[in-house]
Amino acid sequence: MHHVVHKFHEVFQLKQGRYSDLSAAKISEMMKSNSLDNAPTQSLLSVVNGILDESIERKNDKIPHHVACLLRKVVQEIERRISTQAEHLRTQNNLFKVREEKYQSRIRVLEALA
């Protein structure tokens, strides 16, 4: 497992224009592991931008199939993180509303006693 995470770390360090050099087997191995789950979001975004930059520079606008699969998987992981973050924000917002109502109720009781 550590080997696969290390391999994915190597992908993050690739220089622009090298994603198409990755073998389909290497990309497949990375996508089957949970290395995407453990990767920093900034690194995932770097992979997306690197693949897109390479595609633009190639002029033929073709992304190799195995690289396109990696791109899809990385984007799905970013979407999952955004969705999770949004759910956490909704939960926090609800907790704040409940606390606010509780404190407003206490304020009303204290005002009535004063």
Averaged over successive runs of 10 residues, the pLDDT of the chain (114 residues) comes to 52 60 78 78 86 76 80 91 95 97 96 90
pLDDT value of residue 109: 95
Distances (CA, A) of 71 to 48, 105, 107, 111: 6, 51, 53, 59
pLDDT value of residue 91: 97
Its pTM stands at 0.63
Can you tell me which residue has the tokens 């699969």? 69
pLDDT value of residue 70: 87
For the chain, what are the domain ranges? 2-82
